[in-house]
Chain A
Amino acid sequence: MGKIWIITRRELASFFDSLIAYVLIALFLLLSGIFTWLASTNVFFIGQATMQVFFSIAFWSLFFFIPAITMRMIAEENRAGTIELLTTKAVSDSQIVWGKFLACLILVAVALFATLPYYVTISQLGNIDDGAVIGGYIGLLLLSASYISIGLFASSITQNQIVAFLLALAVGILFQLIFDVLGNSVRGAIGETLSYLSMSVHFESISRGVVDSRDLVYFASIIVLGTLLSQMMLSKRNWQS
């Protein structure tokens, strides 16, 4: 854990020393703020003290923002050659991947934390379902963790940040939208499997405040699979051709 945290701290410092962190947090707040408070479907229009509007906006904005955070994590080290310096120090490949994963997750968590005033404000307006709010935030964190792990994998197979970004979006859109659409249009076991793979189904059930083991297993599998694949790509230099 010590080594993971050292990697995480360096990545976080790099987020906050460059403008990446501030730009992303500001954009995220701007987008979710506009849709929650100002756009035509805002909370006042719905007339209920609920954060569902914010959660459904964040569901999509995080989907786009996370690849922008993860794209440089490993790709840039591959390009600059610093990966050679990092992997020849006394850390393992899995510590490197988990360190970077944690740094991205903390950045997202900071952005989400910055939306707490929304909750405070809305809870003043009427009776808010606290369980649903907590569930929603947990759902967003799990969703983010899943996309971070997909993004890290995309970043680990290339030296080019743009390729990493687009690839992460391409893989992400499957979970975000395509499995859902296909699952609704195909009948039988295949349709059910596709629906199970859809991110929105699990996110919605958690953000209703119901934490089901099926959902947790789903998110955990994506996270573990993504980080394992990134580790594998990182260890590729050891493979024999």
Chain B
Amino acid sequence: MSIIVENLTKKYGEQKAVNDISFEIKTGEVVGFLGPNGAGKSTTMKIITCFMAPSSGDVRLDGSSIHSDPELIKKKMGYLPENNPLYLDMPIVDYLRFSAEVQGVEKSVIPSRIGEMIDKCGLDREKHKNINELSKGYRQRVGLAQAMIHDPEILILDEPTTGLDPNQIVEIRKLIKDIGKEKTVILSSHILSEVEATCDRILIINRGRIVADGTSDTLRSQSQGQELLKISIEADPEKVESAILALGTVEKVTGVEGKHGWFNVQSKPDMSSRKEIFDLCVKNKWYLMEMTGLETRLEDVFQKLTK
């Protein structure tokens, strides 16, 4: 049950919102679409969910194509659109029943499915209310519940945590992570920490193109390339600096501003200086107070790629 997206392009007039995107998502993956606003994340999702047809290209799922069997594909997908539109005048349970019926869930299992969704999404205390009486966080849960009511194989969530408070964000993320254990999930976000916390794989999209694809670790190391260490040595700083620079593995040493005895050490590509620095300290009887590897933050990767 993998989703194959092939050469997807969507034009709005002259502008290409999605420009020749191709990728494949395997069963059970939790994939995050990351990108600045207007990058084409939502448009890609709208095409995958058969809301709108692409200008060219195809999305295939299990051999069915969005062009020939949209009903079949729609049945296998659960979708939570951006801003979570719901029929506000309906009671939660009625709305879930309606969603189940439209998605073709068998009549006899609908009540148990509704019960399951109410449990899973934590709606039990609110289940007798109308949707317009719910807070934003609970509406988001209803949105998730209606997307999952027919037990779809793929869940597509467009910015599932926008507008929620920090506690709600944590809860929704936890929910998505739980769901991701059994299902294929595609979610979009422009919040990096969110994608990093929930997704196995990240696709960075910018101006309608995929500019990076991989786990958060591979993305980091790709953009980083060289090891960066932050060290603190108790000794004469000038001696230390020249001694470290003399090591064969080190490319650059800079003192940390305002902090006596601290240095940033950049190694040459594909080399590590950790052991060399330790040995150096032992030889000169310096005290090594601290040595930390500095990781490139995903923010830096993102900014570099989407500028």
Contact = CB atoms under 8 A, between A and B. Distances in A.
Are chains A and B native binding partners rather than an unrelated pairing?
Answer: yes
Interface of A: 3, 6-7, 10, 13-14, 17-18, 80-82, 84-92, 237-238, 240-241
B102 A241 contact: no
Nearest to B10: A240
Contacts of B81: 81, 84-85, 88
A200 B167 CA distance: 63
B177 interface: no
Given A237-B51, A238-B53, A89 B87 contact: no
Contacts of A84: 46, 51, 81, 85
A237 B52 CA distance: 6
Contact of A238 (B49, B52, B77, B101): B52
Contacts of B53: 238, 240
A82 B87 contact: yes
B79 A90 contact: no
Contacts of B87: 10, 14, 82
Question: Top 10 A-B pairs ranked by shortest CB distance?
Answer: A81-B85, A238-B53, A90-B75, A82-B85, A88-B49, A89-B102, A237-B52, A90-B74, A6-B101, A88-B79
Residue among A13, A84, A85, A87 with max Cβ neighbours from chain B (10 Å)? A85
Given A88-B77, A88-B79, A89-B102, 8 more contacts: A6-B98, A6-B101, A10-B98, A81-B81, A84-B46, A89-B74, A89-B103, A240-B55
Nearest to B87: A82
Interface residues on B, range: 20 to 34
A88 B11 contact: no
Interface in B10-59: 11-13, 46, 49-53, 55
Interface in B243-260: none
A241 B13 contact: yes
A103 to B, nearest CB: 13
A37 to B, nearest CB: 36
A238 to B, nearest CB: 4
23 contacts: A6-B101, A6-B102, A10-B87, A14-B89, A14-B90, A18-B89, A80-B88, A82-B85, A82-B87, A84-B85, A85-B79, A85-B81, A85-B85, A87-B51, A88-B49, A88-B74, A89-B74, A90-B75, A90-B103, A90-B104, A92-B71, A238-B52, A240-B53
A80 B84 CA distance: 10
B273 interface: no
Nearest to B104: A90
Contacts of A82: 85-87
B32 to A, nearest CB: 20
B94 interface: yes
B267 interface: no
B190 to A, nearest CB: 19
A5 B185 CA distance: 31
Contacts of B161: none
B11 A241 contact: yes
Interface string B204-246: 0000000000000000000000000000000000000000000
A90 B71 contact: yes
Interface string B55-86: 10000000000000001001101010101011
A241 B54 CA distance: 11
Nearest to B74: A90
B99 interface: yes
A178 B53 CA distance: 40
A6 to B, nearest CB: 5
B99 A89 contact: yes
Contacts of A89: 74, 99, 102-103
Contacts of A86: 102
B203 to A, nearest CB: 21
A18 B89 CA distance: 8
A224 B147 CA distance: 33
Nearest to B53: A238
B83 to A, nearest CB: 6
Contacts of B74: 88-90
Contacts of A87: 50-51
B201 to A, nearest CB: 23
Interface string B284-300: 00000000000000000
Residue among A80, A89, A241 with max Cβ neighbours from chain B (10 Å)? A89
